[in-house]
Amino acid sequence: MANLGKKWTCFSCAAKFYDFARPEAVCPKCGANQKEAPAKPKALKKEKVVLQIDDDFVPEPDADAGGEDTLEESLGISGARAEGVDPGDLQMDDYDE
């Protein structure tokens, strides 16, 4: 393929053309020299926005702050088995396989 040079888009008339590796890129449609193009404005950086959340959380006072209940006691479950203890009343068929 032949060397067509650099591809340009004219800043004046928006025509697309190649400069054929010439030192000056001149638009064939309107004759504007592309070296005289105005400088492109730099994009402004967006400022980061931080969302402020009003925290209105107030912890409820504990009714009995002195004693610590276990999960079973707080849910009202009585007679809960200790963890890791086999109840003994389950047969092999009762386990999910």
Q: Within a domain: residue 54? A: no
Amino acid at 17: F
Q: Within a domain: residue 45? A: no
Q: Within a domain: residue 44? A: no
Distance of CA 5 to the CA centre of its chain: 41
Q: Within a domain: residue 53? A: no
User: With contact defined as beta carbons under 8 Å apart, do 8 and 18 qualify?
Assistant: yes
Q: How many domains does the chain have?
A: 1
Q: What is the pLDDT of residues 17-75, one digit of tens each?
A: 999 888 899 999 999 998 888 888 888 888 888 888 887 888 777 655 555 667 767 77
What pLDDT is attached to residue 38? 84
Q: Within a domain: residue 5? A: yes
What domain range includes position 8? 1-38
Q: Within a domain: residue 89? A: no
Q: Within a domain: residue 58? A: no
Residues 6 or more apart in contact with residue 10 via CB below 8 angstroms: 16, 17, 27, 29, 30, 32, 34
Q: Within a domain: residue 61? A: no
